[in-house]
Amino acid sequence: MNIHSLFEVWVENRQARKERLAAERTEQILRAATRVFSQKDFHEATIHDVAREAGLADGTIYLYFRNKRDLLLNVLTRPYSALLLAALGGAEISGEDDRSLLADILRRGVTMALANVDTIRFFMSAMQEVDDQVRAEAFRNLFQVGTIFEEYLRERIATGAFRPCDPVIVSRAFFGMFMIFILGQEVMMGKNVAPMPYEKVIPEVVELFLTGVTSPKDPAR
Amino acid sequence: MNIHSLFEVWVENRQARKERLAAERTEQILRAATRVFSQKDFHEATIHDVAREAGLADGTIYLYFRNKRDLLLNVLTRPYSALLLAALGGAEISGEDDRSLLADILRRGVTMALANVDTIRFFMSAMQEVDDQVRAEAFRNLFQVGTIFEEYLRERIATGAFRPCDPVIVSRAFFGMFMIFILGQEVMMGKNVAPMPYEKVIPEVVELFLTGVTSPKDPAR
Amino acid sequence: MNIHSLFEVWVENRQARKERLAAERTEQILRAATRVFSQKDFHEATIHDVAREAGLADGTIYLYFRNKRDLLLNVLTRPYSALLLAALGGAEISGEDDRSLLADILRRGVTMALANVDTIRFFMSAMQEVDDQVRAEAFRNLFQVGTIFEEYLRERIATGAFRPCDPVIVSRAFFGMFMIFILGQEVMMGKNVAPMPYEKVIPEVVELFLTGVTSPKDPAR
Amino acid sequence: MNIHSLFEVWVENRQARKERLAAERTEQILRAATRVFSQKDFHEATIHDVAREAGLADGTIYLYFRNKRDLLLNVLTRPYSALLLAALGGAEISGEDDRSLLADILRRGVTMALANVDTIRFFMSAMQEVDDQVRAEAFRNLFQVGTIFEEYLRERIATGAFRPCDPVIVSRAFFGMFMIFILGQEVMMGKNVAPMPYEKVIPEVVELFLTGVTSPKDPAR
DNA sequence: CATGAATGAGGATTCATTCAT
DNA sequence: AATGAATGAATCCTCATTCAT
């Protein structure tokens, strides 16, 4: 290795180091912004709030984001699905019988949702601020999580355990059955309302999902 | 009837008339505010916008609402359920077999939702702005609509057509199965994404609700 | 005069009064802005400065002008020629012999210029800020003053006292001969330089204008 | 020559080299600043603009100039007269008859002015920014050019071709006669106004300068 | 010497709210 | 009761300047 290639390595390192630092700052700001935006509405949160939360000066934000809106867009289109999956605890779907499995998934979902009510609220309110494209991008990220469940459905249908149905629709419907309680009880009503306890909700939802409402004895079946 | 009581009647009329006019003005402003807030975000909509939409001067708004936030609160806690029910076209639940009936309800729901995407978005984003109490009040208004469906469930369970289950939970779950598509496809993603067509979604959801996913041949059943 | 026409008069008065008040405010702000812009550079003068000078709140400025630049444009395109003419003391051009008359005009011009050095500086520096159109408009206002002098030239040419020449060009050239001293000595150099005294400059300029530099004895004449 | 003196020479060279490099950097920055300031107004031009134009980093500017204002001062007090003279093409004043000579000077002046409208505008607007002293210094540099013309006047007066007059005043007046058209038509009005064509202006100005406006037949002469 | 990331003071502008008419 | 002109607090963003590398 001669002096020239050493120099090149050094240049590369400098360059790489710079990029790494910039990426870290960006990440640092995004984390702070997510925290701030989760607590105050976008319009009520000030750049100063974000800067303070990030431990930076106001002006520094603008070295990494064109403006406040741009910052919001970047917060919204971060790969949340990864975070969600992580939060869902790997969410490996396997093993147990369907009833336990589905209940397990829902229980993890509830836990995660409860821990992130602020963020969910932020997402919902921020949607208003941005254009269709960003909204779609953000939402696609979220729906990503659903694909794992679709896979599970496909397998169960293939083995004949589940009847033929559209896995995408059914997967989302399952998600909806559960999400309505999160939205209604946690995101919307807060602590002011006696909610349905999840120990009751989860079995009902699982049963509904597996067997529907129709009575087994129903001749129309 | 002497002159005194005539005077009293007149006073009463004056009083009543005054109150009626005030109520009308209040209603006029609330309607305007709802329209404006549905199109712009709360923070982007100005009092001036609302006043213009209502055909009044800026200052007049403050004769009927303490401040901008108070106006929002009143918009949010208007009896929306009445409007929803009206929009659902009476939503008398009766007659047909369950499959057609449920599909019919969903179809009406889709129609109404599509016609009010702006308002739904407004509701979602406004939730962030207000405190738990107002949020709860607003949401209770919405859930009100659900009671009709709960009633229907109770009847079907009583007749033995549906298996025993918690009507409140199941009612909401049904609502959620459907609402997730409205939220995902209309409110969030806008026109940027090829959505699941509702002609496909509705039968799947109805079937899921009635019979679940489990294969009829499944021995575990 | 019946009650209806009385009402109409009243409405007109209200309307007219409002417009008069608005015009007065506009004028008040323009005066303040002219003063402020004459002392600080456009970019150094703040809206707050202008508002304070006008005895108004910052926000009030924006009720009458779209933004700071718009304020500048309006200051620049005010009918300055009227002010100039007034300042030139009517500038009726008549009576005396040409030498005295021209000297008189120049003397008045010097007086006015000395009293308005700040404004002249402001004009020169502001020109940079605005687009061609506004600049042209502003300058046309100034050149307006020149037309009176052009008229005088035409008359003198007609009587044969002056030789045939283009009155517009010669008028401007005369203005330039004098203005260069104002610009150089007052606007640019300020009090740091021993200037040519105007008692010497004026006769020289008048003589140059009337007879040129060529020696009367020059045979080439 | 021993090793010590060799070292001293080397040190001197180092020193000299350093100074030369510093002077070059200074010059490089001044050139860049002149270009930038000619296109944007002083307040609209940023240090970053200048640095980019000079191919340097922002911070580097501050190694050679105390601050932005200091940079402006140095731009303004560069020896522009040298540049102007160069641009005037040597401007050797000789040979031809007076009419052709003066017309020639004016034609060169027009050409130069047209090529430097941006710079002239910059000068005019920058004058507002700086104190009397700098302004005087800058203007003295410009008037420097006039001395050549004064010399020419003195010679012609001495030969009796021109009548006795103050060469400084007359020189400046001549400059003013011409400059007013440059200022009015190029610097101020831009392309929005039908200007006096210079082919007409120049002969008129020359004639005015040489013979004045008075009719040769005027008995009052 | 040179760099350019970080700083934070400063200013244009908006808009909820008040109050004299 | 209704008006809308006036207010001024609040906030986004720019950019001259500094300083660690």
DSSP code string of B126-188? HHTTS-HHHHHHHHHHHHHHHHHHHHHHHHHHHTTSB-S--HHHHHHHHHHHHHHHIIIIIII
| Maximal C-alpha separation, chain D | 88
Same domain, D55 and D103: no
Identify the DSSP state of B42. Answer: T
CB contact under 8 A, D172 and C180: yes
- Give contacts of B204 with chain A, Cβ < 8 Å: 165-166, 169-170, 173
Tell me whether residues A128 and B124 touch, CB distance under 8 A.
yes
Same-domain check for residues A52 and A86: no
Is residue D41's beta carbon less than 7 angstroms from any atom in nucleic acid strand F?
no
Query: How confident is the prediction for chain C on average, in pLDDT?
Result: 84
Regarding whether B148 and B121 lie in a shared domain, the answer is yes
Residue A12's pLDDT band, with cuts at 50, 70 and 90, is low
Whether residue C145 is contained in a domain is answered as yes
DSSP letters spanning C13-54: HHHHHHHHHHHHHHHHHHHHHHHHHHHS-TTTS-HHHHHHHH
pLDDT band with cut points at 50, 70 and 90 for residue D193: low
Identify whether residues D63 and D92 lie together within a single domain.
Answer: no
Per 3-state DSSP, chain C is made up of helix, strand and coil in percentages (nearest 5) of 75, 0, 25
Residue A163's identity, in one-letter code, is R
d(C-alpha B31, C-alpha B25), whole Å: 10
Query: What pLDDT is recorded for position A191?
Result: 64
Q: For position A208, what pLDDT does the model report? A: 96
User: Is C127 within 8 Å of D121 (Cβ atoms)?
Assistant: yes
Give me C186's structure tokens: 């007052």
For residues C65 and C86, membership in a common domain is answered with no
D221 in a domain, yes or no? no
Residue after which a domain boundary falls, among D76, D95, D113: D76
- Give pLDDT, residue C84: 62
* Probe site for chain C from D180, D193, D200, D221 (most C CB atoms < 10 A): D180
Name the residue of chain D whose CA is nearest to C160's CA.
D215
Rounded to whole angstroms, how far apart are CA atoms B133 and C86?
69
In this predicted structure, the answer to whether residue D187 has a pLDDT above a threshold of 90 is no
Q: Classify residue D169: in a domain, yes or no.
A: yes
Question: Are residues D148 and D69 part of one domain?
Answer: no
Q: pTM for the complete prediction?
A: 0.85
Q: From CA A19, how far away is CA A158, in angstroms rounded?
A: 48
Q: HSE of D102 in the Cβ direction (CA atoms, 13 Å)?
A: 24
Residues D10 and D112 in one domain: no
pLDDT of residue B201: 96
Assign C136 a pLDDT band (cuts: 50, 70, 90): confident
**CB B155: neighbour CB atoms within 10 A?**
14
Is A221 a member of any domain? Answer: no
Question: Rounded CA gap, A107 and B41, in Å?
Answer: 34
φ, ψ of residue C219 to 5 degrees: the values are: -65, -25
A53-65 residue pLDDT tens: 999 999 999 999 9
For A187, half-sphere exposure in the C-beta direction (CA atoms, 13 angstrom radius) is 25
Q: What was the pLDDT predicted at A79?
A: 67
Task: Check B136 against A188: CB less than 8 A apart.
Answer: yes
Q: Which of B193, B195, B145 is nearest to B171 (CA)?
A: B145
Question: Chains near A, with 3+ CB pairs < 8 A?
Answer: B
pLDDT at D45 over 80: yes
CA dihedral for D95, D96, D101, D104, sign (positive or negative): negative
* Nearest-angstrom CA–CA distance, B29 and B35: 10
DSSP percent split of chain A into helix, strand, coil, nearest 5: 75, 0, 25
- Closest Cα of chain D to C136: distance in Å? 4
**Of D76, D120, D136, D168, which Cα lies nearest the Cα of C186?**
D136
Domains identified in chain C, total number: 2
Whether B221 is in a domain gets the answer no
* Cα(D177)–Cα(D213) distance, integer angstroms: 14
Specify whether A101 is located in the same domain as A167: yes
Residues C54 and C119 in one domain: no
pLDDT at C32: 96
Confirm whether D219 is domain-assigned.
Answer: no
Minimal-distance CA residue of chain C relative to D43: C43
pLDDT of residue C86: 61
How many angstroms separate the CA atoms of B39 and B29, rounded?
16
Q: Is the pLDDT of residue C220 over 80?
A: no
Q: Residue range B25-47: average pLDDT?
A: 94
Beta-bridge partners for D162? C214
Q: What is the CATH number of the domain that holds A123?
A: 1.10.357.10
Residue D216 belongs to a domain: no
Mean pLDDT of C141-151: 81
| CA-based max dimension of chain A | 87
Torsion angle of the four alpha carbons A101, A102, A103, A104, in this order, in degrees rounded to the nearest 10 = 50
Same domain, yes or no, for A196 and A168?
yes
Q: Last residue of some domain: D42, D76, D110? A: D76
DSSP state at residue A92: -
Out of C46, C76, C106, pick the residue that ends a domain. Answer: C76
Asked whether the predicted pLDDT for residue A207 surpasses 90, the reply is yes
Q: How far apart are CA D219 and CA D215, in angstroms?
A: 9
Per-residue pLDDT, averaged over D159-163, amounts to: 92
The reply to whether residue C169 touches residue D221, judged by beta carbons under 8 angstroms, is no
Q: Is the pLDDT of residue C83 over 90?
A: no
For a pLDDT cut of 70, what percent of chain B falls above it? 87
CB-nearest to C166 from D161, D187, D200 is: D200
Answer yes or no: is B219 within a domain: no
Q: Judge if C112 and C202 occupy the same domain.
A: yes
Alpha-carbon span B134 to A190, nearest angstrom: 10
pLDDT of residue C93: 60
> How far is it, in rounded angstroms, from Cα C138 to Cα C151?
22
Domain with B7, as residue range(s), is 3-76
Q: Are residues C133 and C51 in the same domain?
A: no
Structure confidence at residue A130 (pLDDT): 85
